[in-house]
Amino acid sequence: MHEVPALPGTPGLKAAVDAAFADDGPLATAVDQFEPRAGQRAMAAAVADTLAGGGVLLAEAGTGTGKTLAYLVPAILSRQRVLISTGTKNLQEQIYFKDLPVLREALGVPFTATYMKGRANYLCLHRLDQLRSSPAVPYDFVSMVDEWMRTTETGDRAELSDLPEDSSAWHDVSATADTCLGSDCPQFQQCYVTKMRQRAAASDIVIVNHHLLCADASVRQSTYGEVIPECHYAVLDEAHQLEDVATQYFGIAVSNYRVDELGRDAERVLNMGIVEDPDSELRRLVRSVDDQARTFFAAVSMARQTRPSTSLRAGGGVGEERLRIGPGWNGGVIDDGLGLTSALDRLEAAMARLAEASAGQANEDVTTMARRAGELRDHLRFLLEAADPAFVYFLEMRGRGVFLRAAPIDVSGIVRELLIDRMKATVLTSATLTVEGSFDYVRGRLGVGHAADIRVPSEFDFAEQAILYLPRQMPPPKSPQFAEAVAREVLDLLQRSNGRAFVLFTSYAMLRAVRDMVELDLPFPLLVQGTAPRSVLLGQFRSTPNAVLFATSSFWQGVDVVGEQLSCVIIDKLPFASPGDPITAARIEAITADGRDAFREYQVPLAILAMLQGLGRLIRHRTDRGLLAVLDPRLRTMGYGRRFLDSFPPAPVTQDLEAVTRFFAS
């Protein structure tokens, strides 16, 4: 085995990384099918420089570069604790279960690693004890968990293969930040989250995802909830997703689900012998919160139905509706909301009084309930006022859920302060970080000041492996004839590709319209997003010869299908974010108010990066070949179309369907 030179510290890091990636180095010797790649070496050297010298690195690495190894090898050899954050759990699992074992063997360097999920994935022993004392304890569920606890080391619900994804019973025993008692918990030392954090604090490589990273950062100033140990070096992979995730986790939300959960947990605490009287003042206050919440959320739903649609902006996906709200958005709703805040205020005060009179564990549980009631009251007041200009306020309806939300309009300062500035060295990487060759867009959106940058082109030969088809004639996307024209092109292209395709849409409405037009004439198995869970559809696509998948935004990224099974990606329209979406609208308004061109600076770059992610589903290996097709005529008819084309993979462009036929025949 080739051994990488031992490092007295970071100054020798670049030499050690160069040695690892050498033609006759340990990776070439020990890793199956490893191929030395100039781009991978260049990125690895840049990552090593950043980890050794500090600062920020922006690294765009095209598909096929091998960027995961390009940052993992320097991270391991740096001998520092390095936080690796990914956009998806799939990449987390690939790194932990596939890449790190190979590198441990190849590099000859001992290191430890921990794979961390969000808190709700883990069992809370204290909440399980509370559930046992509930009058309506679900004995079958508790028995199953007790049996599992005899063998589990992690407490990760993923080990319970028979547990439904949406199990309400699991929700009652999961380790949420809201319910965590921290070091005051009687089960603190046995806690699975505590043990996970202890493992992470003793590890060299800590693997999280952006959702956990942002959720953790958002509660870091609180006494409760933090699980990621202190790290001074970070690699943020799939960094193009970071703005969206940060927008979600650094906002504020109050929902009927959150209030219901508070009431259930309050009753559970009272049932633990703290309050015996079933008609006590505290129990009446809990019921009052429940009653006020029902009145309030019913009023919110009614206001959504009765207010003129022109005063609200609608957006969202299938089964979801978003409506923008502002100061004084509905007087009647606000009155009902103030009734709920008053009930929460009274509950907090009563819980605080009980906590003072309680001792031991009862005191901690009741104190936690008082804190939660107070936080919920404060959040609801903030949302009802809807007055902070740094936030956009909106109502979201999703299934039976009614959510009032406030999202930060600009997260750049938050990301810089809570994520980037906390680190001595940060690497932000993705296959899609630049627009027209420039990092300016991502610098601005993520608050990146001074930073080194590197662009590593894809290792794939797009001139040979792919062809880009742009139809000769298409009606404008807003035309009533556009859906019919898309259906016609889709049928023609799928005949030539023999199925084996993703057809990606920018809206569910267009997906449904085109599906209705083609499904009877399509001679290939058709899979449609929404008919089964995402993972099930992907499995079916991979295992079904000549399958065609119709899908929307969630399939534009993070999906990997290697080989001939995916030989065609068709996109209906340029993926501009809907200006009717409250967050998008607020960001457009903020840029315009600053005297800048929101379309040029925000909407077009955002759409280009989304488009590149969609097109990137096609070529995932050097042996892959396939067709890229974009059916939107604006690529040719509008000036900004050139900006998209200049950012596309360097595949030959054709408007000739016979050229597509010849490509597949070659």
pLDDT digits (tens, 9 = 90+) for 434-488: 998 999 999 999 999 999 999 998 888 888 999 999 999 999 999 999 999 999 9
* DSSP-derived secondary structure letter, 391: E
- Name the pairing type of β-strands 320-325 and 391-398: antiparallel
pLDDT of residue 8: 40
pLDDT of residue 36: 82
Q: Give 32 or 316, the one with higher predicted confidence.
A: 32
CB atoms within 10 A of CB 117: 21
Query: Where does the pLDDT of residue 334 fall: very low under 50, low under 70, confident under 90, or very high at 90 and above?
Result: confident
3-state secondary structure of 57: strand
Q: Which two tokens stand for residue 175?
A: 């380790």
Q: Which two tokens stand for residue 37?
A: 């790649």
Residues 6-12: contacts with CB under 8 Å, at least 24 apart:
7/77, 7/78, 7/79, 9/79, 10/51, 10/52, 10/53, 10/78, 10/79, 10/80, 11/52
Mind listing the pLDDT tens digit for each residue in 573-614? 999 998 889 999 999 999 999 999 999 999 999 999 999 888
pLDDT of residue 11: 54
> Is the predicted pLDDT of residue 618 greater than 80, yes or no?
yes
HSE on the CB side for 395, CA within 13 Å? 24
> Is the predicted pLDDT of residue 4 greater than 60, yes or no?
no
Give CA–CA dist 132/646, Å, rounded.
Answer: 62
pLDDT of residue 448: 96
pLDDT of residue 335: 86
Q: What percent of the chain has pLDDT over 90?
A: 67
Q: What is the DSSP secondary-structure string of 146-188?
A: HHHHTT-SS-BGGG-TTS-TT-HHHHTTB--TTT--GGGSTTT
Q: What structural domains does the chain harbor? A: 1-112+203-250+411-459 (3.40.50.300), 118-191 (no CATH), 253-408 (1.10.275), 462-665 (3.40.50.300)
pLDDT of residue 274: 67
Query: Where does the pLDDT of residue 268 fall: very low under 50, low under 70, confident under 90, or very high at 90 and above?
Result: confident
pLDDT of residue 221: 57
**Contact between 293 and 155 (Cβ < 8 Å):** no
Give CA–CA dist 89/176, Å, rounded.
Answer: 19
Type and span of the H or E element at 503: strand 501-504
The per-type count for the chain, helices as H runs and strands as E runs, is 28, 19
Mind listing the pLDDT tens digit for each residue in 518-534? 999 999 999 999 888 88
Span 234-257, average pLDDT: 95
Q: Which ranges constitute the DSSP H helices of 447-559?
A: 462-465, 482-497, 508-518, 534-543
Query: Where does the pLDDT of residue 315 fall: very low under 50, low under 70, confident under 90, or very high at 90 and above?
Result: very low
Q: Kindly calculate the radius of gyration of the chain based on its CA atoms and give it in whole angstroms.
A: 27
> Is the predicted pLDDT of residue 89 greater than 90, yes or no?
no
**CA–centroid distance for 408 within its chain:** 17
Q: Which two tokens stand for residue 533?
A: 């869970």
Q: Which two tokens stand for residue 356?
A: 């003072």
Q: Which two tokens stand for residue 44?
A: 């690895």
Query: Where does the pLDDT of residue 398 fall: very low under 50, low under 70, confident under 90, or very high at 90 and above?
Result: confident
- Name the pairing type of β-strands 252-255 and 314-315: unpaired
**CA–centroid distance for 609 within its chain:** 16
Give CA–CA dist 355/241, Å, rounded.
Answer: 43
Q: Give 274 or 47, the one with higher predicted confidence.
A: 47
Give CA–CA dist 57/116, Å, rounded.
Answer: 24
* DSSP-derived secondary structure letter, 22: S
Span 408-424, average pLDDT: 95
* DSSP-derived secondary structure letter, 435: B
> Is the predicted pLDDT of residue 7 greater than 70, yes or no?
no
> Is the predicted pLDDT of residue 360 greater than 80, yes or no?
no
Mind listing the pLDDT tens digit for each residue in 110-119? 999 999 998 9
**According to the per-residue pLDDT averaged within each range, which of 161-170, 191-200, 265-274, 617-626 is highest?**
191-200
Q: Give 398 or 289, the one with higher predicted confidence.
A: 289
> Is the predicted pLDDT of residue 538 greater than 60, yes or no?
yes
**Average model confidence (pLDDT) for the chain?**
89
CB-count burial class (<10 Å; 0-12, 13-18, 19+) for 6: exposed
Q: Which two tokens stand for residue 347?
A: 């509950």
Mind listing the pLDDT tens digit for each residue in 192-229? 999 999 999 999 999 999 999 999 998 875 555 678 99
Closest CA to 616 of 561, 548, 654, 573: 561
Q: Give 277 or 268, the one with higher predicted confidence.
A: 268
